[in-house]
């Protein structure tokens, strides 16, 4: 059965925002190389679109983490399913996520990546749900949109593994 999806952010709004983020990142990293870390699976589409709009030299790596949780809640106990291929020593690391919700996944990830000796670590997310934050120490350097506490899909985000391919952000009307 098809779910009913209400559009929250159109494809044009998302494209425009990614362009702006790409420009801001290119300005801030002028004269440097930025090492993008894509957090799979949700971060894949956003990372690719963002990378296309960054004008400083870019390298990319991919990581997959699984957060033990029930339903739509993450628990903060995070397991690395696929680790990075490259070391982070002396790199300007930019973690790219589709969404920060409780902040549990990122709080854990930032702690383990810091131990690998990067020059600096920043965080870029397409969507932020600040009202939901449990881990207040997670500081978002680049946020596309702050959204209300609704379960969203599209642009990499899934509902039971579906809808990651939607070119817009929507809410599944249950
Ligand atoms: O701030 P938090 O409450 O920790 O939630 C955010 C995390 O949840 C989503 O991933 P998910 O576990 O759904 O995996 P997926 O990207 O493979 O779909 C998202 O990509 C973040 O990694
Ligand atoms: N698909 C999806 N995954 C999430 N993980 C944390 N918040 C969300 C959300 O709103 N949608």
Q: What is the pLDDT of residues 19-39, one digit of tens each?
A: 999 999 999 999 999 999 999
**Domains in the chain: ranges and CATH:** 12-151 (3.40.50.2020)
Residue 136, pLDDT score: 85
List, in order, residues 6 or more apart from 55 with CB less than 8 Å away. 22, 26
Residue 153, pLDDT score: 97
Between CA 85 and CA 129 the distance in angstroms is 30
Between CA 95 and CA 110 the distance in angstroms is 9
Residues 150, 124 contacting (CB under 8 angstroms)? no
DSSP state of 159: B
User: Is the shortest distance between the CB of 158 and ligand 2 below 6 Å?
Assistant: yes
Residue 75, pLDDT score: 61
Ligand 1 atom with the shortest distance to the CA of 105 = 4
Residues 102, 87 contacting (CB under 8 angstroms)? no
Between CA 81 and CA 64 the distance in angstroms is 5
Ligand 1 atom with the shortest distance to the CA of 76 = 4
Is the backbone peptide bond immediately before 89 cis, with ω within 30 degrees of 0? no
Catalytic residues, by residue number, are: 101
What number is the ipTM of this complex? 0.95
User: Is the shortest distance between the CB of 64 and ligand 1 below 6 Å?
Assistant: no
CB atoms within 10 A of CB 110: 19
**CA torsion, ordered 38, 42, 46, 52, to nearest 10 deg:** 40
Low-confidence ranges of the chain (pLDDT < 50): none
Ligand 1 centroid – CA 63 distance (Å): 12
User: Is the shortest distance between the CB of 101 and ligand 1 below 6 Å?
Assistant: yes
């Amino acid at each position: 059965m098809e779910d009913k999806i209400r559009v929250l952010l159109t494809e044009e709004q998302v494209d425009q925002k990614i362009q702006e983020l790409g420009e801001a990142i290119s300005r801030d990293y002028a004269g440097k190389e930025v090492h993008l870390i894509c957090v799979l699976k949700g971060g894949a589409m956003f990372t690719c679109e963002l990378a296309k709009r960054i004008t400083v030299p870019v390298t990319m790596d991919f990581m997959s983490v699984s957060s033990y949780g029930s339903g739509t809640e993450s628990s903060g106990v995070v397991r690395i399913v696929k680790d990075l291929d490259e070391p982070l020593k002396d790199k300007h690391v930019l973690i790219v996520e589709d969404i920060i919700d409780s902040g549990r996944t990122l709080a854990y990830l930032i702690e383990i990546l810091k131990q690998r000796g990067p020059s600096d670590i920043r965080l870029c997310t397409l969507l932020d749900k600040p009202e939901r934050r449990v881990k207040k120490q997670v500081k978002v350097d680049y946020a596309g949109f702050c959204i209300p506490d609704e379960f969203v899909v599209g642009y990499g985000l899934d509902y039971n593994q579906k809808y990651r391919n939607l070119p817009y952000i929507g809410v599944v009307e249950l």
